[in-house]
Amino acid sequence: MGRDEREAVARGMRLAEAAGRVRGDHERALGDVREALRPLHDRLAEEELGRIPVARLRDVTEGRLRLGELEKGGFGTVRDVLDAGTYRLRQTPGVGQRTADQAVAAARQIADAVRDSVAVRIDVDHPEPRTTALVVALHVLVEAGAQARRAAETGAALAARLAPLLADALPLAGRWRTLVAGREKRERAQAAVAELRRISEEAERDGVPEQLAQASVDLLRRPDGDLAAWVDFELRSAEYYSLLAEISGRGPDTAAAEGFLPDDVAERVREQRLDDAHCSVSLRGYQAFGARFALAQRRVLLGDEMGLGKTVQAIAALAHLAAEGRSHFMVVCPASVLINWTREIETRSTLRAMPLHGPDRQEAFADWKGRGGVAITTFDALRGFPTPGGGEIGMLVVDEAHYVKNPETRRSAAVTAWAGHCERVLFLTGTPMENRVAEFRNLVRILRPDFADAVDDQDSLAGSKAFRKAVAPVYLRRNQQDVLTELPVLQHTDEWEELSAADEEAYREAVRAGNFMAMRRAAYARPERSAKLGRLRELVEESAQNGLKVVVFSAFRDVLDAVRNALDAGSGRLHGPITGSVPPARRQQLVDEFSAADGHAVLLAQIEAGGVGLNMQAASVVILCEPQIKPTIEHQAVARAHRMGQVRSVQVHRLLATGGVDERMVRMLENKTRLFDAYARRSAVAESTPDAVDVSDVSLARRIVEEEQARLGVTGAVPAQDTAG
């Protein structure tokens, strides 16, 4: 073998060693997580089996198993049966070999099902050695990032390619081997050396050896103590749980993760390749599926429930298209979330984020046109930019797409014009239907005019399953409870309060005036004697004693002012209020200050300003000062705190007054919530049936005002058409 051949083989061996090393380091890191997870998972399974009564064994055996003697013998749970085994069961009077065998077999069947279903949740408030070991093991992989995983995949692929080539090159590794090798082996060896040289040169040109070496270093790095790992977990819990679900293999049900799409659509999406080279985070399985759905179906509406990461799914789709060579992308969103979009793109991808907002937006637009990247602009600003030429935009993303549900508005016309010139369009909204199915159809018509017209109203008459199947090519929705197995408990409490005499007086005045909005906030009109404010103070004080952060939502600014005055504004613990008049940048700053506060803090927010686009997962208590006209508004606001990344239970307290507008609204809106759950939240909508048509906000307001005037026996002004605000 000549010098060049020896060097080519040596380079190939060094590359193979680096590839094998990073693959081994990654496998060890994964093994550490599995080792730390096992005792926690086993303990959970044991606890669950200890709660399942022995009577459940009868269900498994279709009623054939007689359990009376077992129960008399003190075997009360499935765990008792497993712990005893057949030998001890047979010692129980009246229990024979067959019964013992059947009981243990049935118990094992239940145990297998339990072990497959239980999911470990990490409790930050009660750390103990076993959970600390898991957090530390996960920290290594989270800190190493997606780059380490990709390096391990590259290493595995390289090792598989290099191993046979190095074996074939052996005959040229020494003079004696060369002499004794036959002609065919020498020719194969020469070809192998040439291929080794080509692979090594290509890898060195792409910086692969350095990437493999860096990944190995990152995978061997440990946190600076257990406390550092716990702090990082609180900051990035979503990434920890994402890895945990992937490694444990106990992710959500596949059908749920795929939005219960029909098999033909789901299969087409699964076949879509997803290049994550430009992503800086690892996607969960359902998130990767969502990005593939957007790519495979081209023009779609992603309607995932709040908190499931619609933004990162959109970024993943953009990153894939960038890897394929597309250079220009446009994101349209409300002004309140423009900063959040910019941050997300910069931190979760290598794509260039370019905000087009403010007085310099035209100059920024020209810069984006020349250099490319992801432009982020508002609905209003979009109208000032020329529509693109065909094929110019890799993908148009419209966040909070329900903002364009009315085709008569100028922002809807602008989005429609841009969508008409883009091959790929992705609408994002967690509230695809607020009042009528026509709104949903308007969104679909922008995406797929032919498809919207082809959807038969009879599908909606058949119910949510039929409609879900009908709209599957264009609509994907998943729910938190289906795909986030680790999400902490969400506790809803309706706090019913009797109005004080002062509250009653203010309420009667509002009813007499026919003023629906004044009726809704009458409980705060006399702050010094307000029953609701008294209860709110108690909830905040209790939260302060437990060191919990609180978000207070109201639709009304004067209510937030009353809350601010009722609480200790001089304590430094009070933040906000976030209202519609607060600039988007300041809104985000207020949330950041609230999140960074040490211990207890309170954030005040107008529900439609703070309930959209701002992530408040630092809060574990949410207080709603009054019920909202649309249940989706409450749902969005709560989801600001109870979302992926939340690490504690979330307590939701809705303050309600008995016997008046609150009670009537809650009763009337129960139907809205039921319909939203049955249709929109299950990837479907309905129209043309009496049950599926909600009363409009104005109609609801008029009806409540008239009924309250009749109940209280007061006559006054006829409620105006705009009383619903």
**How does pLDDT run across 385-438, given as a tens digit for each residue?**
999 988 899 999 999 998 898 899 999 999 999 999 999 999 998 775 544 677
User: Looking up tokens 């390096």, which residue turns up?
Assistant: 151
User: How far from the centroid of its chain's Cα atoms is residue 71's Cα?
Assistant: 44
User: Looking up tokens 């018509």, which residue turns up?
Assistant: 445
Contact 621, 551 (CB under 8 A): yes
> At a CB cut-off of 8 Å and minimum separation 6, what does 149 contact?
26, 141, 282
| Residue-level pLDDT at 694 | 40
**What is the spatial distance between Cα 464 and Cα 679, in angstroms, rounded to a whole number?**
5
| Residue-level pLDDT at 376 | 97
**What is the spatial distance between Cα 120 and Cα 601, in angstroms, rounded to a whole number?**
29
Sign of the alpha-carbon torsion through 689, 690, 692, 693: positive
| Residue-level pLDDT at 610 | 66
Contact 25, 141 (CB under 8 A): no
| Residue-level pLDDT at 330 | 98
Joined together, the tokens standing for residue 701 give: 């307001």
> At a CB cut-off of 8 Å and minimum separation 6, what does 284 contact?
242, 245, 246, 251, 309, 483
User: How far from the centroid of its chain's Cα atoms is residue 595's Cα?
Assistant: 19
Tell the burial category of 129 from Cβ atoms under 10 Å away from its Cβ (0-12, 13-18, 19+). Answer: exposed
Q: Residue 622: in which H helix or E strand, if any?
A: strand 621-624
| Residue-level pLDDT at 459 | 54
**What is the spatial distance between Cα 704 and Cα 519, in angstroms, rounded to a whole number?**
10
**What is the spatial distance between Cα 428 and Cα 304, in angstroms, rounded to a whole number?**
8
Closest CA to 681 of 494, 467, 488: 467
Give rounded-to-5 percent helix, strand, coil for the chain: 60, 10, 30
**What is the spatial distance between Cα 120 and Cα 37, in angstroms, rounded to a whole number?**
8
Determine the Cα angle at 650 with ends 645 and 652, to 5°. Answer: 135
Sign of the alpha-carbon torsion through 607, 612, 616, 617: positive
Residues pairing with 491 in the sheet: 651
Low-confidence ranges of the chain (pLDDT < 70): 1, 171-182, 432-436, 454-467, 569-571, 610-613, 670-697, 716-725
| Residue-level pLDDT at 522 | 96
**What is the spatial distance between Cα 676 and Cα 636, in angstroms, rounded to a whole number?**
13
| Residue-level pLDDT at 469 | 76
| Residue-level pLDDT at 177 | 52
Joined together, the tokens standing for residue 545 give: 């004693």
Own/partner contacts of 471-474, CB < 8 Å, gap of 24 or more, are 471/444, 471/683, 471/684, 471/685, 472/261, 472/262, 472/265, 472/683, 473/265, 473/297, 473/300, 473/448, 474/297, 474/299, 474/300, 474/301, 474/444, 474/447, 474/448
**What is the spatial distance between Cα 543 and Cα 536, in angstroms, rounded to a whole number?**
11
- Name the residue type at position 70: L
**What is the spatial distance between Cα 678 and Cα 464, in angstroms, rounded to a whole number?**
6
- Name the residue type at position 682: R
Domains of the chain: 1-250 (no CATH), 252-482 (3.40.50.10810), 489-658+695-712 (3.40.50.300)
- Percent of the chain predicted with pLDDT > 90: 53
| Residue-level pLDDT at 124 | 82
| Residue-level pLDDT at 40 | 95
**What 3-state class would DSSP assign to 655?**
strand
| Residue-level pLDDT at 681 | 42
The 10 Å Cβ neighbour count of residue 435 is 16
Instruction: Report pTM.
Output: 0.76
**What is the spatial distance between Cα 270 and Cα 551, in angstroms, rounded to a whole number?**
40
